[in-house]
Structure 1
Amino acid sequence: MNLLTRAPHSNRRSLFIAICIFLLLDFAILGINLQITEEVEADALAINIAGRQRMLSQQLTKASLQLHQANNTNQAAYRQEFIEVYRLFTNTLFAFKTGGQVTDTRDKPIPFIAFEDTEVLGIVETTEQALSNLKPMAERFIQGDNSPATITALKSSLEANNRAILTLMNQLTTRIEDMSGEKTSRLRQAQFFTFLLALFNFAHIIRLFRKSSQHSGQLIKRLSELLDNTSSCLLIIDEGGQVCMANALCREAFGYSQQDLTILKRDAIFHPSEDGWFGRRSNGTHFAIELHEKEFYLDDRLLYLTTVIDISHHRDRERELADLANHDALTGLANRRVFYDRLELEVAHTDRNGRSLALFFIDLNGFKPINDTLGHEAGDTLLITIANRLKNTLRMTDTIARYGGDEFVIIVPAIHGQHESDKVIQCLQKVIEAPIDIGEQTVSVSASIGITLYPDQCSCAEQLLATADAAMYEAKQTGQPYRYASPTVTGPISVASHQSNQYVITTD
């Protein structure tokens, strides 16, 4: 006779209600997992967009400087660049308040949800106030007022507010990261509380099963059927750590049959680490898990109901989120945040060991025509190719970051003066100028490079970056391939006379 049909009617009804509650809690846990995944993906997008705002704020200042220094030949191109960057920056900033659609790094529209956090909205309002003096001048410029007075006013306004806007965009990125962590923490707390309710409810189900029958064989059979019908990974482990039972999801997750799994001890499939618990599959691979245990008695035997949650997917998403916050989304290189931290660190190391450090500021020549004529996807391919070539050319101890649209910065520590930096320049120029196949087209670009040596030509990290940037602009304006921050280099140096085995030229 079926176990449930032998039980009294009131007991069967209580058991049915308890099972329904257990299933509802189980689906609630599944829903929370899905919500965590969606929240992480939405936060990753918001952090990426906020990080791009930092880059756009710097591009606005750069574009205004180029307009101010441009001649009639290239002023139209710089004007178009300023308009595009200004509209993208202001439209994206407005989307943080109202939502709607924003443009991603590949110029594709994507839905964006408005923020209700008062701190985020406060940062956005402060940024808009900082841009209030710029807005009327920018609108006049966009409508066709190209007078020197308007361009000078744009440049002055952006230079005056550049550092403040960059700081605000850094605060915006940091706040969104904090909000992401807070939301994930709250959802995990709700998930844990729901699991506790489910475990307590399951203990109540066990009690009702015991009340309905004293025959352990039938009880275990019905319990196994119940466990197999849940959407959670469940095991029953005895007081000595021996696995007594595992449901279908658990057997699938660990790759064991019921018979193989029930001859194992607890520590054969679970092991702790500094990052939490990990499960060990039958093939020897590991995956991140959360463990929740609830003790209960079955025929006076102490057992533990163990719930295993596979959180490897969430760990991967969290790592992706951290990667987005520290790396350029297109090229995978370090972003400005990592670059500034590494620059301060390398300057401190240089001060301690008494050696020299070189900073290379690279701006590509000819990128915009390729991007405009062949399309943004071709421009992205070119930037990715150049980034990979530069990364493969440098040493493991060097740092390369994407500083802006077509700008890269490289930190080369422990360098032996200008003689060795000349060798690095020749390697960089060769890999940048090598032809690049994009579809059926073969294109090539060159670069203007500014170099600063520390401590010979500057005294602090902030001055190091500023002088390298200024040297790059001087090289670009004078048509030179590279220029040092001080006039110590008078001409190009032959590659044949400066061979080095520290840097490898790679154009694949």
Structure 2
Amino acid sequence: MNGIHHLMTNNSALENVIQMTQDSIAIIERRKDCFVYTYMNESMKTQFGNLLDKEIYEAHPYQVAHQLSLSINSLEEGETSDLQTFLWPQFPFYDVLVHVLNKSTAYLIMVKQPSINHSTDREQSLEPFQDLVEMSPDSIFVHDKNGCITYVNTSGLRLLGALKKTEVVGRIFSDLLSENYPILSRVKKLSSESVKGSPIEGRIRRLDGTLIDVEMNSGLIDYPQSEAVQIVCRNITERKEQLNQLEEMAYYDQLTKVSNRRYFFKQLQIELEEVDKNQSLLSVLFIDLDNFKEINDQFGHQIGDEVLVIFTKRVKQMLRSTDTFSRLGGDEFVVLLSNLQSANDPQAIANRMMECITQPISINGQTLYISVSIGIASYPEQGTSREMLLTNADQALYEAKKKGRKCVEVYRL
């Protein structure tokens, strides 16, 4: 506490003055390689919370602590006189004075309140809008041209899971985003074009580390002493979840969780448009479970559904992530193999699938055996259009069934 003695010289009257002033006053002392708060008046505690014995990088967001550290280092290295001033990033109207105490390793920090006239004019000019911004359901952030957040409304605090504005103000906005957000280039673009940015979707990282989906819009605004960028964020996590659910309902089979015929036809068209560019092959495999009706009749539809689920899991484990496996309906399935390099690949893959599928299935103490018939047509040898491939794969499947089922048949001209 050497610093406080330098300041007060044991004068309790001076202590009372410091405690009663509206300006926030603190003392920071060097301890080895860090700076620690050793004294705060009541105004400082009210403004920033009790920071006693806290290191500045623990007490403040990086941007604030870094500026304090730079100012103190400048004083220590004699680059300036014994007084440094800068604008506190959290409060753009507040001046911060950093003063070395009697050439010691203690530093007086004074955060000066704005003048009464300045403060009153500002409050009156913002009064019609302040409540609207604070009560907005959208999360509103303001950052300077370096990306440092200077304002956040109540919805913004809720979005990030923060309780106080001091937890957010002073942070770099791009640090909240899961993807790289080009702050400086975007500000430059906004400045030159004088237009609002178009909405973009991204993910924001809450203070607890969880990610949420947001839609963001931005634009330049006039802010104290300089232009700044306002970011309006809307939480779209629920909307994204609803869209995902709708997509799942539209493109996926609810029982087996594999894609449905609608998705398959869409993917087949995409792959046909890309296959020549990639100089590769693709194949369509039609798969029918043999005599599946007998399983339903003998064991019931519930057991039949479980068999379908087990069957699809076995097929999926034999496929690559780039392949498409879909249920056309009932016991009819189809596989789309893309980016093949050899005309022999489809039949080899089908044979491995057959071996896996025919393994015994145990359900409720009962052992069941299933088999499948597979028909194959490949691009471009057995078809160059969607219709040709589907027709020829279906014909190959028909031939497999004619041969007694439980076999693989490749379409032959």
Amino acid at match of 2:284: L
Amino acid at match of 2:262: R
Aligned to 1:479: 404
Aligned to 1:335: 260
Structure with more of its chain in helix, by fraction? 1
Aligned to 1:201: none
Amino acid at match of 1:331: T
Whether contact under 8 Å (2:259, 2:326) holds in the other structure is yes
State yes or no: 1:282 paired with 2:207: yes
Structure 1 residue 358 displacement after superposition? 3.5
Aligned to 2:342: 416
Aligned to 2:354: 429
Q: Secondary structure at the match of 1:282?
A: coil
Aligned to 2:31: none
Query: Structure 1 231/355 Cα, relative in aligned 2: closer, same or farther at 3 Å?
Result: closer
Aligned to 1:399: 324
Aligned to 2:161: 255
Amino acid at match of 1:430: E
Amino acid at match of 1:416: S
Q: Secondary structure at the match of 2:254?
A: coil
Aligned to 1:499: none
The sequence identity of aligned pairs, in percent, is: 29
Quick check: which has more Rg, 1 or 2?
2
Amino acid at match of 1:255: G
Whether contact under 8 Å (1:235, 1:244) holds in the other structure is no
Q: Secondary structure at the match of 2:333?
A: strand
Query: Structure 1 234/343 Cα, relative in aligned 2: closer, same or farther at 3 Å?
Result: closer
Structure 1 residue 481 displacement after superposition? 2.1
Whether contact under 8 Å (1:216, 1:299) holds in the other structure is no
Whether contact under 8 Å (1:227, 1:234) holds in the other structure is no
Query: Structure 1 442/231 Cα, relative in aligned 2: closer, same or farther at 3 Å?
Result: farther
Amino acid at match of 2:342: H
Query: Structure 1 262/425 Cα, relative in aligned 2: closer, same or farther at 3 Å?
Result: closer
Structure 1 residue 392 displacement after superposition? 1.3
Query: Structure 1 224/245 Cα, relative in aligned 2: closer, same or farther at 3 Å?
Result: farther
Structure 1 residue 393 displacement after superposition? 0.4
Count of matched residue positions in the alignment of Structure 1 and Structure 2: 274
Amino acid at match of 2:360: P
CA distance in 1, matches of 2:222, 2:277: 64
Aligned to 1:232: 137
Post-superposition Cα deviations, 1:341-369, rounded to whole Å, max 9, x if no partner, equal 44345456555677654432110023223
* Aligned with residue 390 of structure 2, among 456, 465, 468: 465
- The aligned runs of 1:216-227 (5 Å cut-off) are none
Q: Secondary structure at the match of 2:171?
A: coil
CA distance in 1, matches of 2:158, 2:204: 13
Query: Structure 1 227/477 Cα, relative in aligned 2: closer, same or farther at 3 Å?
Result: same
Query: Structure 1 343/215 Cα, relative in aligned 2: closer, same or farther at 3 Å?
Result: closer
State yes or no: 1:449 paired with 2:378: no
RMSD: 4.5
Structure 1 residue 263 displacement after superposition? 2.9
Whether contact under 8 Å (1:272, 1:278) holds in the other structure is no
CA distance in 2, matches of 1:370, 1:429: 18
Post-superposition Cα deviations, 1:408-461, rounded to whole Å, max 9, x if no partner, equal 11233425345x444323211122212223344332311122223444444543
- The aligned runs of 1:19-98 (5 Å cut-off) are none
Query: Structure 1 334/259 Cα, relative in aligned 2: closer, same or farther at 3 Å?
Result: same
CA distance in 2, matches of 1:281, 1:330: 35
Structure 1 residue 303 displacement after superposition? 9.4
Whether contact under 8 Å (2:289, 2:371) holds in the other structure is yes
| Structure 2 stretches lacking a partner, 5+ long | 1-118, 183-198
| Structure 1 stretches lacking a partner, 5+ long | 1-212, 489-508
Q: Secondary structure at the match of 2:329?
A: coil
Amino acid at match of 1:424: I
CA distance in 2, matches of 1:428, 1:415: 19
Q: TM-score when scaled to structure 2? A: 0.52
Structure with more of its chain in strand, by fraction? 2
Aligned to 2:171: 264
Query: Structure 1 250/476 Cα, relative in aligned 2: closer, same or farther at 3 Å?
Result: same
Aligned to 2:304: 379
- The aligned runs of 1:177-192 (5 Å cut-off) are none
Q: Secondary structure at the match of 1:369?
A: helix
Aligned to 2:246: 321
Q: Secondary structure at the match of 1:393?
A: coil
Structure 1 residue 298 displacement after superposition? 11
- The aligned runs of 1:113-262 (5 Å cut-off) are 214=120, 230=135, 232=137, 234-235=139-140, 237=142, 243=149, 246=152, 249-256=155-162, 257-262=164-169
Structure 1 residue 242 displacement after superposition? 5.8
